[in-house]
Structure 1
């Protein structure tokens, strides 16, 4: 909860315009537990720069496309650990950087760090994806999605609780491919 207002992600938010009063279109609709890829879209520009700086983080993915439900405690521990290891801090305007394991950072830094820790813990890379959505106040926000048999789990720096995709307050915009991190899809 301590990082709830820290993440400001510079993205093309015209895809999902805000309604009067700051609400985001689609925020009150019933949503599925699994995120569904739609048309290909451009990756966030700062993610492209991240891939250039850390090419091993953007290599083709391997392994199963979902994880066992019995490792939920491990996933929650990693989410909590990273949430408490990074001090919330916004990037300077126009200087959006995605950084692994910084001492301070914003939502993208939490997300790429969690993805790395989950893979190091032995989870299959294909089951772990970065996604971007809009918060209720219309701000871009990056999270990690872990696919299980019962739904996509969301690891979010705004909360230590791991929730299914249909239980969070984000309006989904885009997600990285399960096979190739350089490919992204609209949601």
Structure 2
């Protein structure tokens, strides 16, 4: 770990990044929790201080004003909840930008490893103007993650109401280990 006053160089860390998928992904006319971004943390790779980050981004459009929810999990859709942020879209919002950021920091490793998480959503979908909002959820305690098996970090999108006019499109995912 870096010490106070130490110069930190990129070469000091084991890093990798995963590029965006070559295709977009749409969540339309559905109330199912749908994965829009995934980063797999390989078994036994994490060490105390490892940081995994995933940023997922796209646009969304609606006719009415439905509720929508972005969720971060580890262990896939059925895994441990890291954060969930819901809001109501502004009626008539069209091609409004959204971004979800999910960070996971390893504190200890093993079958009962301890981790800390941060989940943040920035979007303009809840506003009729271009002014956006930032919502962030930091858990009040650590979570248990088994670092001896592969773990999928996922970001999901859920519409509160199924409608052909409810459309969220993921354009990209930027993800990787940064420490």
- Per the TM superposition, whether the score is higher than 0.5 is no
Which structure shows the bigger proportion of residues in strand conformation?
2
Which structure shows the bigger proportion of residues in helix conformation?
1
Rg larger in 1 or in 2?
2
Normalised TM-score (structure 2): 0.29
